[in-house]
Structure 1
């Protein structure tokens, strides 16, 4: 396979698909690559019981219908199917099962993108891998207890196990809640979490935030900076009191992981059957082999990357609170189009 394109989009999530649909309308040559076998698999393979926390009206992709769900929120599989339908409806140029191994630049005006299937030449690269790129691991060594990441929890049929969930963000709390009915669950907590009510005056809180314009406030605004510093998420019965009522044992921060046990910052130790890492994700641009795009501390230089023709889209708080959300796709795509060299 040797292909040439103007804009190569890496990642067929909601941002990559929304960008592709807009480029198609503009008759701009593009290609979307995704490492998964099917569009939407990045959601299908996530942990059992995961739901989106934004209301369905906020999960509508540009130019498409509002998704519907069986419950109050879309499940991961419902949203995966929605993404797949969107791609088919717009007949987007997508190559799935195509894992990008390396990206180089010729020093002039063209990128070479290498995968297991061959080489693709592109004028511009858009990194649409999203916020959930590479899971952060708490401990890389071998232990007597089983270590699992969020990407390994597509099925959670555990029973009568002692399970420690490390990380009490929205995902960690959802997992602890789901596993608590058949297992003894411990939840290791770090910084103070700020949960906001799921509803205010009978309306979904996220809908109110959108209505008042708070999701679109530029990140430089003081109110936006306050929201970012608190990093709140909806309380879908996952607050500490609700978890304690389900029998979840709340622990303090993990400070050490040994072969046999885990140590918390209060000196307490625990030897679980299973430890689940739910401490978040990090970006990984190691596949981009362009030395000038890395600063002295090996940090990826996004400003220099844009000058060369490499762009990011869909990162949390890239421009505002909605940047990483589905409802922010239309705004983020239009912002990016202003930067792209959209020669037909």
Structure 2
């Protein structure tokens, strides 16, 4: 009898355990069916991404291509081209292949470019990064250098150099060595010309081979000249004080000139030097305590840049090493002023030369 009672107790316990297991299985199945929804219903949404993640826009294009992307990409492209035009030593060249990473949240109203890569024929590949830990929020290069603001400004809205400063230039017409005491920038006739820095107008009027010429004496001892003008700014006269980037005249081809352009010159103590050195961008390195943060940020952005346009841009990038045909543009060259007509001929002397927080 005792054996029978023992077997009966064991059976009761086994059935109780099985009932609990079956109840748990049914409950789990019920929860799974409830989450799946009715047949044919779309799958449940994926878990929301981290609220601190920052979505990016990634795009690539060829400079000068006629197609214009839709917003917000168009605003990012315009912002990127403006940044590159200011930072690249010789401006942004037609045919350059550009890749960009930008914040998606702020485009198109306030495009924020985070990183840029540009490749052009005859130029080394260049990359720029926005690093906000340097407090200035300016773009820095691959070596962590940022531009230092300069008081000098370009005399034209767009600089297209057609002939550099060269004390020993071989004249293209006379075929003899003749000093070229300024830099020629090709531009259509009538293009506004601006004072490169505030100062006092020291000359307005005809000036030998310079044609219609404006000269400005600056407080730092430098005098800049603006030659071959078609006309002067209204009311401009000798002795006037002009502000930086104030209109002083318009591009022309007066004097000894082969076509419309601005001959921009600079001299100190009567000796001419390369006026482009006034406009050159000076760079300074990030502080040592920001280097590690910059390199970490740079590594992440480099990976994003490297992933843009894989496949579709490979052919264009491979062909960047080939020379591009020069784009037609207005511009001329000076003819040398004769000593008899050039009262400013002097001994020549060449000048010596925001980090985005990731969450």
Asked if these proteins are the same fold (TM beyond 0.5), I'd say no
Higher helix share: 1
Greater length-normalized contact order (CA 8 Å, ≥ 6 residues apart): 1
Bigger Rg over Cα:
2
